[in-house]
Structure 1
Amino acid sequence: MKLLDETQALAEIRDLLAEAKTARLAVAFWGKGAIERLGLDRGITAEILCNLDSGACNPAELRRIRALPGITLKSHPSLHAKVYWTPTGAILGSSNASANGLALEGDSASGWREANVRLDDPTMIGDIATWFDALFAQGNPILDDDLERAEQVWKTRAKMAPTGTRLVSDLLEAFKNAPTHPAWGQVKLAYWKDDLSTDDKKWLNSERRGGHIAPTTDAYAGWNDRIAPNDWVLDFDVSGKVAIYGGIWRALPEEAGRPGLRLVIPAKQVRFPALGRLTLSKADEGKLTSIAPAVLAAHSGNGALIDLTSAMALVAASQMAPSDKGFTMAMEQIYNDAVAIGYRPTTFRRMLADHGGVETARRLIRGAATSGFETLWEKQRLDLSVEALILKPTWRALFHPDEQAMARKRLRAVGYIPED
């Protein structure tokens, strides 16, 4: 007998099944990738009992399992066991056939902490086989209609499933803890430039005065196909020079009664059964506000609606974005490298001290080619030129496309091919 955690259990089960020609698996819940994790696609003959009615089985994975040759798949509505049996051994415990229950090496930190036992006693193995046969006989074959019904339950339940991580109150921290949780699909970020039309505003005011909607009700126009009822919206007004955070809004469950409008009401928190009550800290407001230019640039400068996953990717990219300080250090380095090959650009050094790296580069790029450029060309070291530096992928974002074009043109005029 041996105690196994979620990672050890996966290795033991795979070895057990790899050595067997037949297997009996009574495992309540099955997740994506179970076939590959367990090695069920190698031609083994197996009887598998799951609990489709629980809503905790991925119907897509069960379809794949059902299609495997040699596999007989049934469901039992009361099954909660996790038993992996072969004629030579068995593993019992808490690990379901999912990424959370059976973790690959390195993945265990993102899954549940499990406990399982490996059994090799022949008497116990025989008892498990008898128990399985009786339960399997009570199971129901899984038909197409069963899987279609389970699909809807699966989608709903997935949004409510616990994350296996510590509950927190900060929205972005909760996202970082469980970035793939389905609930995040209901969080949208609206960066809007244009206010509602005059007619839409009149309609809203009329509905408010008539008591048909709450006085605090507002609306988004043109995003009905992307903001679903009960979605959460983080609002950003980008109509001015500076983006302004407008709080959290909840889309009403009913239609507006006016084509093109999605009614919303203000909310203090984003609330999910699996994630708790979440708010946006001041620091995180700043992060999401700071990416407004990148959001608008990706949508041709117009207002944009993006999901939280996309927003977090932009936040991560902005935190890794090149800085003026970093570029100044790079400019100082090409000065030192130039000195090392016998060229001391003193004017360049003085400009760097007076104006910093970015402004110095802009002045040099927008002016005529300098004697320093010619010297580096003669020494066949244009890789140390300001023109070559600003075209490196690391620093391009600091310069306008026109400035990049000037640098590229100057380098190509003397036969130097800049880095692309």
Structure 2
Amino acid sequence: MGGTNPEEIRRVLKLKNVSTVQCDRLHGKVYLFSNEMMVGSSNASTNGLSFEGTEASGWSEANIVSAKLEEILCARDWIKALDCHPISKEDLRRARTAWESRRRAMLPLKRDQSISELLKDSRSSLGGKGVYAAFYAADMTKSGHKELENKQKETGSEIDAFQDWIDLPRDVPIISFRLSKNGELIFDNVWRVLPASQDGMDKDGLTMQWCFKSPLPLGLKNPRSDYDSWKLVADWIVKHKGKFDDEQGQFCDLSEVTL
């Protein structure tokens, strides 16, 4: 529930004749009524990006509404078969923490700015936003690629994975770079890693940290057009955290970096 304003969940829980449950392994939202149902991406609050009100302009949601009885009954049976549970006070507490963290991270300080500009002008304000940079060189093993392919077929989603990097931060934006064989930094993507409880394992016994793409945070310009600045960040990490190579990757909270 990290993308939904938990106060909206509290309001829904207070409604009479309404049952609200959650499934930790389900990202979609299903709204069932006596004579209608809606399935799609929309959260109970403005959207799943931790934006509210006019902040969400420019983002789109996709939903399907049906009043067909057979589809409503099918959806009810499908929900019953899921590993759902009532929403507890602890769930709401964790949702509040996650939502506030994501909201701080997603609200841009200024649009289309260089990472060096952000760090020099606003480094102290980055504390608590939970935005990370990660650098690695090792390729995923054949067994890992096979496990990822199976997971994508199983879920029908664009899920991806880090392999055997269990200490990566979870549910925060990670701006990821890969070091090529010729020493060039290549922007990988921005990822959010799922909770450790959902990690998988390939046939060689290496853990798979499942992740999904996430929007670029903090109003940053595309790292592909900001290469020199990100190279400075990588140099800082090598100096203060250690090198990243085929044996290990490195990551850090961007609020730690000084340029």
**Shorter-chain TM-score category?**
0.3 to 0.5
Q: Which has the higher helix share?
A: 1
Q: Which has the larger radius of gyration?
A: 1
